[in-house]
Amino acid sequence: MTIQQSTETLKQSATPQAAPGAPTFKSRHPETQALHGGSFRFDPTTGAVAVPIYQTTYQLLGTEGADKLFALEAAGHLYTRVSNPTQDAFEQRLAELEGGAAALAVSSGQAASAFAILNVARAGDNVVSAAGLYGGTWALFAATLKSFGVETRFVDAADPEAFARATDDRTRAYYAEALPNPKLEVFPIAEVAAIGRRFGIPLIVDNTAAPVIIRPLDHGAAIIVYSATKYIGGHGTSIGGAIVDGGNFPWAEVRERQPNINEPDPSYQGKTWVEKAEAIAFQLIQGLETLPLRLRQHNENAIKIADYLKAHPNVSNVVFPKFQRGVAAERAAKYFKSGSYGALVGFELKGGREAGRRFIDALQLFYHIANIGDARSLAIHPSTTTHSQLSAEDQLATGVTPGYVRLSIGIEHPDDLIADLAQAIDAA
Ligand code: PLP
């Protein structure tokens, strides 16, 4: 093969996602999108169907080609911190699954929420966030971003108008979790997104606990963030995160409200981002491919287990969207895909804190793990673990009572899960 011939081959294979034979078939079903979404069909050089791990730098195709790439006038890969074909395939597939315009894979869920905020807020700006947050996100907002000069104003999501009341002319984003645990009350996405749009403020939704079964972009959210460590990876083997842009927010029409996106960026040749909008990922792709299938089993199992706990004489309280009343029940019915309530189940034993701890120690099948969304079933006592960095008062504000136990229901046979819970409750 001559150098010219190999350069031609290289040019053709430089963007495997645009392979000849790339599918034109587009599905709206999540089960199919998770396997076939995005433009990757197979690697044109090798025929590989599983997205290969491209752990590499890239040969720039001529100086003119390089000029265009660096000026962001041509699509392509120039350096893996900026983009990478394996990540690109994951990002495209996730964006399609969510009904978004594009996605960015990052190193963790924590990085996804930090980047989503830092993209729009500078020192002196503020964000209004629902108070019901994962403890690590709470700490990121209340302490780390605060030290950068970005203030977070925490409000009670039960009242959507609280977001409007906390807004001033330096508010750049609204933030919430779609299914915040431990309370498991679905966030009023459409209501708060509409308030934000009145002011030119995007709603960022952390959908970690409800992929596939809640679709925030359909209800007006502008951006979704994920800890892909959870259901997307699905096996607790990889830390990862993602930001999905809905492509549905009028950034250019809200110039004064959103200066970061609309003013020239001195860190990249004075580009204005509103005009440029366009290896762990390998592991996460494996998880993503079976995500809708797993979610179905997670959901079915969770309903059986929540029903079992609710009927158990030693259990004083079960937190599960199926049992909610009033506004919380209306929101669950509005936002969950029909028949789904997610797979997080919270409960309290009549024996309180000590019984909760004895229960955890007695489990034989459930793992005692600080995670959610694993194919395996997991249990934890939040007050002494995930939420231990919060004061007793803040714990109660986020819904963590001293005896509360959180289960993340996996995809094992439900009878085995119930048998393990039964013996551990007896032992508590
Ligand atoms: N968001 C939610 C709802 C979480 O539960 C977590 C982690 O537990 C995160 C974000 C942070 O994600 P990661 O651990 O991938 O940084």
What pLDDT, on a 0 to 100 scale, did the predictor assign at position 12?
39
pLDDT, residue 7, reads 40
pLDDT of residue 10: 39
Nearest residue (by CA) to ligand 1, atom 8, is 371
Q: Do 361 and 218 contact (CB within 8 A), yes or no?
A: no
Q: Which amino acid is at 94?
A: L
**Stretches in the chain below the pLDDT threshold 70:** 1-23, 276-279
**Is 338 buried (19+), middle (13-18) or exposed (0-12) by CB count in 10 A?**
exposed
Helix (H), strand (E) at residue 202: none
- The finding on whether 258 has its CB within 6 A of some atom of ligand 1 is no
Assess whether the C-beta atom of 108 lies below 6 angstroms from ligand 1: yes
**Which atom of ligand 1 lies nearest, measured to the CA of 110?**
16
Tokens of 148: 């950068």
- Using the mean position of ligand 1's atoms as its centre, give its distance from the Cα of residue 117 in Å: 15
Q: Is 348 in the pocket of ligand 1 (CB under 6 A)?
A: no
Q: How far is the CA of 64 from the centre of ligand 1 (A)?
A: 42
Q: What confidence score (pLDDT) does residue 15 get?
A: 44
Residue 165 belongs to what H/E stretch?
A: helix 161-165
- Measured from the Cβ of residue 269, the count of other Cβ atoms closer than 10 Å reads 10
Asked whether the beta carbons of 172 and 125 are under 8 A apart, the reply is yes
229 Cα nearest atom in ligand 1? 15
Q: Could you give the dihedral angle defined by the CA atoms of residues 331, 337, 338 and 344, in that order, rounded to the nearest 10 degrees?
A: -70
Name the percent of the chain lying above pLDDT 90.
74
DSSP string, 332-398: HHHHSPTT---SEEEEEETTHHHHHHHHHHH-SSSEE-S--S-SS-EEE-GGGTTTTTS-HHHHHHT
Decide: 398 in ligand 1 pocket, CB within 6 A.
Answer: no
Q: Which of 106, 108, 110, 223 to mutate to test the pocket of ligand 1 (most atoms within 8 A of CB)?
A: 110
Between the alpha carbon of residue 91 and those of residues 79, 100, 281, 288, the distances in Å are 16, 10, 8, 11
Ligand 1 centroid to 137 CA: how many Å? Answer: 7
- In eight-state DSSP terms, residue 126 is E
Listed in sequence order, the DSSP H helices in 200-258 are none
CB of 374 sitting under 6 A from ligand 1: no
Residue 4 is predicted with a pLDDT of 44
